[in-house]
Amino acid sequence: MSGRVTSEEIKKLDRRDMLGKLKGFSLQCEEAYSLPAPALLPEKDFNRIIFCGMGGSAIGGDIINALAFENSRIPCFVNRDYCLPFFADGKTLAVIISYSGNTEETLSALEKARERGCPVVCITSGGQVEKIASSDKLPLVKIPGGYPPRCAMGYLFFPCYKILSALGVLPELDASIFNRIRRWSEDFFPENEKSLAKGAALKFYGKIPLIYSGARFLPALTRWKTQIAENSKSFAFINVFPEMNHNEIMSWRYPDWFIARSVPVFITSEKEHPRTDKRFKITREIISGVNTDILDLRTEGDSLLEEIFYLIVLGDWISFYLAVLNGADPTEINGIDLLKKRMGGTS
């Protein structure tokens, strides 16, 4: 463990330029939205949507699901498995998202979707998904390759949003979000000694963050958990209000050593339901009785999509700085690669 965030430590540990990818994220998002939508989109007579993907490829579906909850009459589901739910049929739009195009669970779900006659849209950088889409003339968005999948968040999400906007499922995107993503990213650059992301990483160093938000931000919390796992090689736990108040609030007793080594994180929003906001205040007071090392964060943005992306940008930078503090290469995923090799797969 290095325990320091300096330019020298970053240069020594970040051998595959995760820093450059984080700095270029806003440009990636803007480029991704400019990619042409498929020439042939499915007919609009579907009555539900299921997003099939794993890891970084599935987070985009989580975000769409959260947006559809507030903006669409068409229910959305995210499927992280080899199979499809029983309800999936010819009225179910299957959005197949695999960055590599070779993710075995997603390929299996694609096969099941074709067997059941689901209308299908594919988003990938290549691999078997592209080959199947090309041979079967399925709508396809081809995105740039060469990134670790978790670093291709913009390419995986914004073409998906563009498709669903064209289908009338979601409203047209406000393009000002790209300027905001750029500004937020710049606020967290290493050159900024007062970076909120750097300060949060220092607070997490050597401890276990327990991250809480309202249910609307679960996709962002999921992203935090997975980025801290892959980039920082650390544990993080997440939960949302009001569900947390019906069970996990009772966990703040034992074991003593865990509570002493944890960091409660409360992420709030000006747009939170007033009853949920009250729950935050009361819960924070209760937890502070056993752990005062609390981190309070506030979302930014005028819409739910902007708030989610603010948190995603912040969480990505926190996970990068925490990797440096841990003395870890933020890009390396040897454990995942070994598992895939032993499973006989490629992605």
Residues catalogued as catalytic: 230, 246, 340
Element spanning 219, H or E: helix 218-230
Residue type, position 165, single letter? S
* Maximum distance among all Cα pairs of the chain, rounded to whole angstroms: 61
- What count of other Cβ atoms lies within 10 Å of the Cβ of residue 342? 8
- Cα–Cα distance for residue pair 327/5, rounded to 1 Å: 10
**Cα–Cα distance for residue pair 279/281, rounded to 1 Å:** 5
Distance CA 320, CA 10 (A): 9
The answer for residues whose C-beta is within 8 angstroms of residue 139's C-beta and 6 or more apart is 38, 39, 40, 41, 42, 120, 121, 122, 133, 163
Strand 237-241, strand 208-214: pairing: parallel
Cβ-contact 227, 219 below 8 angstroms: no
